[in-house]
Amino acid sequence: MSGLLASVTGPSEAETALAGGCDIIDMKNPEAGALGALPVQTIEKTVRLVAGRKPVSATIGDLPLSPQPVCDAVVRTAETGVDYIKIGFFQGDKGATLDALQPLTRRIRMVAVLFADQDPDFSIIRQAACVGFAGVMLDTADKTGGSLRRHLGPESLRAFIEDARSHDLLTGLAGSLSLSDVDPLLMLNPDYLGFRGALCEAHKRTAGLDPDRIATLRLAFEDHLSLRASQATANAGAHAATRSSSKSAAAWTRDGKAT
């Protein structure tokens, strides 16, 4: 089952997201870029408030890939007690940064974030798995340039998820997602879908969370999963009926009542 990830800016929004049934609390500063970092004190307070009720992730900021600054940011963020740390694969030295992060993956769970609007290199999926990352996700860097599905079609998104799964990595899809993206993206079975703007007042990602919008998205998830469960049950029943009919026909033939 896919989870609903809510990006929040602090303890108050985290409580709102928890009350709305969100599955992952993601710490991010939407006013500081695609993966804007929050102050460590804010992250620490939020981790204490969540108190293990749901996983908590946090971003390290829109940093170019350079081994020392990225490693320093990862260690600093890990000390807050978050469960996952998200690292944006912006421009820079990808290979050297991954090599530098490898020793840290033994004690820190990291998620590599690729950007659909920046010609993402899917070979990073294998590289991230090899150095011990816990997951990968797709997002968008430019929040004014349209949603994830504007930049990548369903086949590319499916290939991303299947490749990540083949390397035992968690998968996430995000990037200016809206209510209309829920059904088509849940059909791809990611581990989670990430939202910010769609959860906020007036769909503005720098505004506060709106409980009604969270409830609407939560319901969309539940409706989709209920429909798929019903379809699976119906398909299983049809399959069982077909098998029963086939067995009856075979028995009829064996008994010599038909040839």
The beta strands (E) that lie in 129-258 are given as 135-139, 170-173, 192-195
Q: Are strands 84-88 and 135-139 parallel, antiparallel or unpaired?
A: unpaired
Find residue 193's DSSP bridge partners: 4, 173
Residue of 28, 94, 247, 257 with catalytic role:
28
At 63, which amino acid appears? L
- Does 28 qualify as catalytic in the annotation? yes
First to last CA, the chain: 48
For 61-130, what is the HEC assignment? CCCCECHHHHHHHHHHHHCCCCCEEEEECCCECHHHHHHHHHHHHHCCCEEEEEEHHHCCCCHHHHHHHH
Q: Which of 86, 143, 247, 257 is catalytic?
A: 86
Q: How far apart are CA 102 and CA 45, in angstroms?
A: 28
CB atoms within 10 A of CB 98: 23
Catalytic (active-site) positions: 28, 86
